[in-house]
Amino acid sequence: MASRPQLITDGDALRGAVRDARQRGQTVGLVPTMGALHDGHLSLVDAARAECDLSVVTIFVNPTQFGPKEDFRQYPREPTRDLSLLAGRGCDIVFAPDNDSIYRPNHATYIDVGPIGTILEGEFRPTHFRGVATVVMKLFQLAPANRAYFGRKDYQQTIVVRQMVADLDVPIDVRVCPTVREADGLAMSSRNRYLTPDERRRAPVLSRSLRIAEELVGGGERNVSAIRQKIAHEIESVGDVQIQYIAIVADGTLTPVERIDGPTTIALAATIGKTRLIDNTVIG
Ligand code: AMP
């Protein structure tokens, strides 16, 4: 049994621990999460452990990235289970601050990520990326790591974080790791637990529709509207799933393509019942 991670709740203590490690010549890998950990999160921890001497996982349900009608209050919080999962993965430090120490009462500064924060997810969650960028920047300040690990599952988030890091000259290497899926293809997410058994049975249609798109492109289809139509048709075939968007963009960007003639990402969002799910894949 691996030793338990050091649990830190104070920002200054975290900064001190990370600085000490770096002064000793160690490399530090940071994994920001909102907890309720699953194998997707743990794959980021594995990547950080493989590439860095010290791994730091943060667990903080960030209120500023939730809209007023979203699930901030009901978002799952399981600190004890999270800690034992992280102990099992050999994580070194867990930072689990309380809300007031991250957002002090007079907090006033937010990061505006520009137009990339207003499209796709941003159209349905207008203040989401402002909250994400702000908390990620704060975590980068509190844990001045060499590398930070993010999941490909939140594709637009990886673009937003890379943009912020470049624009604001943040000295941290952003690493993006593959999406981890359930056996039936559903991308792992802390929100999957909101699904009723019937919704859970229908949810794999999202990844299935992306696989169909991959096969179409593998078979020579290059037309973006034909691909989008096939995806929508597949998703709608299961009933009671509301598509929010199906974006087909040049991989590594949010710029729509007119034809598939290079690495292309298909990113989509849909609601099943009350639960909003996202997924994406790269093709071409
Ligand atoms: P969250 O706790 O949802 O904020 O996610 C924390 C990090 O885990 C983010 O970088 C996510 O992209 C990543 N993540 C969440 N789900 C998965 C997954 N299924 N596969 C890989 N990474 C994931």
Per-residue pLDDT of the chain (284 residues; tens, 9 = 90+): 568 999 999 999 999 999 999 999 999 999 999 999 999 999 999 999 999 999 999 999 999 999 999 999 999 999 999 999 999 999 999 999 999 999 999 999 999 999 999 999 999 999 999 999 999 999 999 999 999 999 999 999 999 999 999 999 999 999 999 999 999 999 999 999 999 999 999 999 999 999 999 999 999 999 999 999 999 999 999 999 999 999 999 999 999 999 999 999 999 999 999 999 999 999 98
* Residue 2 DSSP label: P
The closest alpha carbon to 214, from 263, 176, 178, belongs to 263
Q: Tell me which residue has its CA closest to atom 22 in ligand 1.
A: 151
Instruction: List residues bridging with 33 in a β-sheet.
Output: 59
Sign of CA dihedral 11, 17, 18, 20: positive
The closest alpha carbon to 278, from 235, 240, 238, 237, belongs to 235
Q: What 3-state DSSP class applies to 158? A: helix
133 and 113 Cβ atoms separated by less than 8 Å = yes
The phi and psi torsions of 17 (rounded to 5 degrees) equal: -65, -40
> Within its chain, how far is the Cα of 186 from the centroid?
15
Task: State which ligand 1 atom lies nearest to the alpha carbon of 157.
Answer: 12
Name the catalytic one among 41, 107, 128, 233: 41
Give the C-alpha separation, 44 to 32, whole Å: 9
Q: Tell me which residue has its CA closest to atom 14 in ligand 1.
A: 151
Q: Tell me which residue has its CA closest to atom 18 in ligand 1.
A: 40
Å from CA of 160 to ligand 1 middle: 15
Q: Tell me which residue has its CA closest to atom 10 in ligand 1.
A: 150
Å from CA of 179 to ligand 1 middle: 8
Å from CA of 149 to ligand 1 middle: 9
pTM: 0.98
The phi and psi torsions of 261 (rounded to 5 degrees) equal: -140, 40
31 and 95 Cβ atoms separated by less than 8 Å = no
Active site (annotated) includes residue 41:
yes
Give the C-alpha separation, 63 to 135, whole Å: 9
The phi and psi torsions of 281 (rounded to 5 degrees) equal: -150, 160
As given in the structure block, the two tokens for residue 165 are 């890091």
Instruction: Report residues whose beta carbon is within 6 angstroms of any ligand 1 atom.
Output: 33-34, 40-41, 43-44, 150-151, 153-154, 177, 179-180, 187-190
Å from CA of 32 to ligand 1 middle: 9
Å from CA of 187 to ligand 1 middle: 10
Q: Name the helix (H) or strand (E) containing 208.
A: helix 205-218
Sign of CA dihedral 45, 47, 48, 53: positive
Cβ-proximal residues to 100 (8 Å cutoff; 6+ apart), any chain: none
